[in-house]
Structure 1
């Protein structure tokens, strides 16, 4: 039996569910779903809001085996939904295969990450959800439902916010393995970034900028490059190499390695990031990125008063109905705050007041305030998504207050 904490990973949410269940078998999970009036899936608890919560039962499928199945003809891998990305990545690398992208943390579950539109970084790289080629989930009556690559419902169900039930299996597109290196630099001038944002983010396969908003320059630049291609130099970027050793919980800089040891920032066998923290993130259209950066620098002092670090990354457009990157290339602006709920509550409305007018979409798994009245118009297929949910779960077994407030029609 997997032990499931009643607090989320960052420690800012305590689940109100009457019960948290971790069934040992798929059949037990199916019976639990069938017999429950209200039930929601719970992954690795990396959401910083009440998206997973319910007044009924939270079901965690971490006791079910990962059971990875590689199909080399289709170039896919199918795994248990609760499997962590780091586990999937290691299995693929051992078999000469790879994913196109990974998030900062390899600790997150596949089902949880795709259900919230979680992403990595890269001008030409879609979110983790964009690799999905099939789903198996437990429907309201406890039956297993398979959604294949050709099913017209798949683009609506991938970023499903738990509204379609617990995901038991996920099929992901894979590709041949590749090798990378990641390099760390310091002090990218803000003017250089805003004058030539496209060139900065094109410097590698995956580029992350980490900074505080009152800093005189962008403080950290992490460039992850394919060893088969050009490696950007510090002179080309207008920055300087970062001295010192890599922190113990991070994958190393300055060395060549397999994709799975370079794309995630953090190591699977260590506590990532700060641990006790609150995260917020918004995706703005790529063509409004410079405006968004300027708007946030204008309120840098109140943000930095509670901020550990912000991270800027690029995400390629996809066609998934509720993906924050649906229909547009985006700049993702991430905030890792210290675990100061009152301080974050003060600054979050200021951030949204500046980013929402730029057509920003919040990351579904991070803390945000914007309600359905604001967000519905930002997703062209939102009405279709609501109709898909209503047809799949007419009694609202998988609904909750979060969906009602932020998505509506659930």
Structure 2
């Protein structure tokens, strides 16, 4: 049994698929070690265990809209694609989405996943309440404003099994998506804030080699003021739909060419009605404070030749600050550098230290669901509340039921599991 990309073989074959919260509680209390699985889109061992894996994809938690509060309650294993379609039917929306709509709502939130946009924080910022089964089998609801809330939202599965979330929603909106290619790097860096602020959500795709950004994807809300025309900066507007990878058919990407459509069909990069690829890749991502964006790009361009043979493409996005203790964008507006690598595990691990060294002066924080080599001492410097989180994890899970080797090594500072 393995993750989506098949680069992680799980340490157990004991997989449970409970249909009720009571069944989740029974699995937790009857297991020495237990971890929840989302859509298996993590590329490291954050969700691994040598005990029992719990998939929540069959959990019977209906999507419930609260029109007065403007919130929605959703089961942990529900995908963003399913949730978004239901919200759209009721004239509601989420403020933002990740690039892939097939990922589970709770898994994305628990690992600090985000979309893009200078005004858009990580997906966890939309969480109003977390429903979580604790180590003793009890169900606890942690609400925004509670003492432990900012520890619980991006909780890495270390605090319990999340069974449902309550999310803020907004009125539905339409989006147009355009793509430009060949934006000169010098112009992109000189006008970086203008480029990334060009639309509601903006992504730059690059391999850090050559003289220009390969592609800029701009997603603009219909009715918002018209942003900067990237063609005025020398970029070339796409005349046909394109994939972010060269020589790849655009069938799986969301509609482009400035055709308006609902938020759920434009904010992700990939269409919900296309099954994700077979996962022939490995992913890494690092977030740096927004003020260091240009310097970080230049540092990566200086070493681009070191990883060119292993890299499919890199995406640069912006994220507004949030308050979660372990959010990679916690406490600071950020720019994210995402790397989609070829599925060559040894080669990727060999080049990551070069990337991490280049980004070290900018206090780069890794995405919790992707591959990195940073140790706990480094992570402790970059996540000011890491020790507080570890203490909270010990308080709610004193016997380490939700621990695993990965969390012990990177977050919890505890002895290896016996």
Aligned 1:175-214 pairs, distance under 5 A: 175-214=170-209
Contact 1:213–1:303 under 8 Å retained in 2: no
Whole-angstrom CA distance in 2 between matches of 1:274 and 1:203: 33
Q: 1:235 aligns with which of 231, 234, 238?
A: 231
What secondary structure, in the 3-state scheme, does the structure 2 residue paired with 1:407 have?
Answer: helix
1:65 deviates by 2.9
Inter-partner Cα distance in structure 2 for 1:409 and 1:130: 27
Q: TM-score, normalised by structure 2?
A: 0.94
2:256 pairs with 231, 253, 258, which one? 253
Worse-matched range after superposition: 366-375 or 227-236: 227-236
Whole-Å separation in 2 of the counterparts to 1:235 and 1:360: 32
Q: How does 1:216-231 map to 2 (within 5 A)?
A: 216-231=211-226
C-alpha separation between the residues in 2 aligned to 1:310 and 1:274? Answer: 19
In the alignment, the residues of structure 1 paired with residue 346 and residue 387 of structure 2 have an alpha-carbon distance, to the nearest angstrom, of 34
Match of 2:247 in 1: none
Q: Deviations over 1:139-160 (max 9, x none)?
A: 1111111112231211111000
8 A contact 2:200–2:221 mirrored in 1: yes
Deviation per CA, 1:258-287, whole angstroms, max 9, x where unpaired?
011110000122133673110000001111
Query: Residue 316 of structure 2 aligns to a residue in which SS?
Result: strand
CA shift for structure 1 position 193: 1.6
In 2, Cα distance between equivalents of 1:271 and 1:348: 29
Unaligned runs of 5+ in 1: 1-5
The answer to whether the Cα contact below 8 Å between 1:126 and 1:316 also exists between their aligned partners in 2 is yes
- Which consecutive aligned stretches of 4+ in structure 1 deviate over 3 angstroms post-superposition? 271-274
Corresponding position of 2:378: 374
Deviations 1:312-369 (A, max 9, x none): 0000011110000011111000000111112212211111111123200000000001
**How far is the alpha carbon of 1:215 from its aligned partner?**
2.8
Q: CA deviation at 1:18?
A: 4.5
Equivalent pair of 2:231/2:237 in contact (CA under 8 Å): no
* TM-aligned CA deviation for residue 409 of structure 1: 3.1
Match of 1:149 among 140, 144, 149: 144
SS at match of 1:301: helix
Q: Is 1:82 equivalent to 2:77 in the alignment?
A: yes
What secondary structure sits across from 2:81 in the alignment?
Answer: helix
Q: Are 1:286 and 2:281 matched, yes or no?
A: no
The Cα offsets for residues 65-122 of structure 1, whole Å up to 9 and x where unpaired, read as: 3411111111110100110011111111110001111000001111100001000000
Structure 2 counterpart of 1:360, from 358, 364, 368: 364
Q: Residues 122 and 319 of structure 2 are in contact (CA less than 8 Å); yes or no, is this contact kept in structure 1? A: yes
Q: Distance in 2 between matches of 1:78 and 1:174?
A: 10
Structure 1 pair 72/43, CA: closer, same or farther in 2 (3 Å)? same
Aligned to 2:116: 121
Please point out which of 317, 321, 341 is paired with 1:317.
321
Deviates more, 1:246-255 or 1:361-370: 246-255
C-alpha contact 1:200 1:237 (8 A) present in aligned 2: no
Worse-superposed segment, 89-98 or 61-70? 61-70
Q: CA deviation at 1:245?
A: 3.2
Shift of 1:404: 1.1
1:98 aligns with 2:93: yes
Cα contact 1:66–1:82 (8 A) shared by 2: no
Contact 2:97/2:267 (CA < 8 Å) preserved in 1?
yes
Match of 2:50 in 1: 55
Find the aligned partners of 1:21 and 1:222 in 2 and give their Cα distance.
Answer: 40
Q: 8 Å contact 1:9–1:276 — kept in the other structure?
A: no
Q: Is the 8 A contact 2:17 2:59 kept in 1?
A: no
CA distance in 1, matches of 2:267, 2:200: 9
- Are residue 409 (structure 1) and residue 386 (structure 2) matched? no
Counterparts of 2:240 and 2:18, CA distance in 1:
46
- Partners of 1:67 and 1:80 within 8 A in 2: yes
Aligned alpha-carbon RMSD (Å) = 1.3
**With structure 1 as the length reference, what TM-score do the two structures score?**
0.96
Q: Give, in angstroms, the shift of residue 231 of structure 1.
A: 3.5
Q: Residue 345 of structure 1 aligns to a residue in which SS?
A: helix
**Partner Cα distance (2:323, 2:400) in 1:** 26
